[in-house]
Structure 1
Amino acid sequence: MTTADEGAGLRERKKRMTRQALRTAAVRLFAERSPASVTVEEICAEAGVSPRTFFNYFDSKEETLLPFTRDTYEEVAGRVRARPPEEEPLEAVRAVVEQSIARAVAGDTWRQEAALLRANPQVLQRGMVAARTLNLALRDGLGERTGRGADDPYVRLVAAVSVTAVHVAVNVWQGSAEERDISQVLAEAFDGIERGLTPPPE
């Protein structure tokens, strides 16, 4: 490993630590009060960083509860580009999206984040920004992977239906009366797309 690689790895670890510190601070404050009554400045004070640093990672305080942010754009696009070449475009995108959700669920604060999302459905309105970020990242990754470019209609379609799968899964998960595994709900959404939207077996 070169010195440049080591430096890049260290920077990425520091970014992950800072991102997680902000998430943890936000979750604790949101749980104590409510997302509406907590300010970005309070989150930053709790995490020991400046508001300027906060906005390097998130566009809003609500985004701290969501798995896809502006800060993760290049990571998602890069992971799509790096998937095995034999995978079909939708297969590659599905793997990346499912891995991202699985990583979010495995995080130390996921249970608290999930409870806050369930208790504060208005937070998901900010998810529109996250959805746009995810869409653009998938388009960029697929555009390069396929050689078609990010504005190709097929590339845009695969990205759009994948983002829709995430949107549907999150809303089904949040609205379910019983506790469900969001990763399983997401898998069911992608399964439906891969079946060509034919009804699932009874």
Structure 2
Amino acid sequence: MTEPGLRARKKEATREALRHAAITLYREHGPQAVTVEDICAKADVSPRTFFNYFETKDEAVLSLDVSAPIVRQRIVDRPADESPLTALRAVFAERFAQVTGSETFRERTLLLREHPELVPRLTHTNKAFEEAVVQGVAERVALPPEDVYVRTTAAAGFGANRAALMCWQPDEGPDLVTLLHQAMDVLERGFTPSRPG
């Protein structure tokens, strides 16, 4: 019974080693100068192993640390009396609380500050994550994924998620969970600015 757990942990350790190597090299040499072979050498794995985990070097750097099916299930499993936005807030906040202590995650955030040209690539790389949010919202409200309410709600929640990430400074200012709550508050206020006092 312990073997599948051990295998899963080894796979996750390899994925994390590749992700960390890719991000470190991107920061040291710039995205264009880094090859898949460079990443493999730093992580001490073969290119074949790399492609078991990621399709491209950008995916190794930009992909999220949680799988799309897990995200969908967490959204679905939230209490039934929560609104879709409340459910998304809780799921995103839980995820951010888990990852902000990760050095790899912090390094990736700094990389995106240093190379803002990578930011638009997040949309493509994390498309499965966005679709998982859509599916989760659809299941909660018993509407098809292509429904405009479902798509708009999911897009708004994911936009708040991204806004929090873009505003986060790892070494100063509000923590990432606080920024997420602020971004979700903007949605729930109907985009009315918060005024001091």
Corresponding residue of 2:176: 182
Q: Report the identity percentage.
A: 41
Rounded Cα–Cα distance in structure 1 between residues aligned with 2:29 and 2:64:
24
Does 1:128 pair with 2:97? no
TM (norm. structure 1) is: 0.81
* 2:146 is aligned with 1:151: yes
Aligned equivalent of 1:197: 191
Q: Tell me, which stretches of 5 or more residues in structure 2 are unaligned? A: none
Equivalent in the alignment of 1:51: 47
What TM-score comes out, normalization by structure 2 length? 0.82
Show the counterpart of 2:36.
40
User: What is the aligned-residue RMSD (CA, Å)?
Assistant: 2.7
Change (3 A) 1:93 1:56: farther
Equivalent residue for 2:162, pick from 154, 159, 167: 167
State the distance in 2 between where 1:201 and 1:190 align.
16
Change (3 A) 1:80 1:7: farther
Q: Secondary structure at the match of 1:109?
A: helix
Find the counterpart in structure 2 of residue 21 from structure 1: 17
Cα contact 2:63–2:126 (8 A) shared by 1: no
Shift of 1:179: 5.0
Number of aligned residue pairs: give it: 195
SS at match of 2:79: coil
- For the residues of structure 1 that align with 2:79 and 2:145, how far apart are their CA atoms? 19
The unaligned stretches of length 5 or more in structure 1 are: none
Change (3 A) 1:131 1:116: same
Spell out, residue by residue over 1:119-168, the C-alpha distance to the aligned partner (whole angstroms, 9 max, x if none).
Answer: 11112121121443222010112222332232222221211101111233
| C-alpha distance in 1 between matches for 2:48 and 2:42 | 14
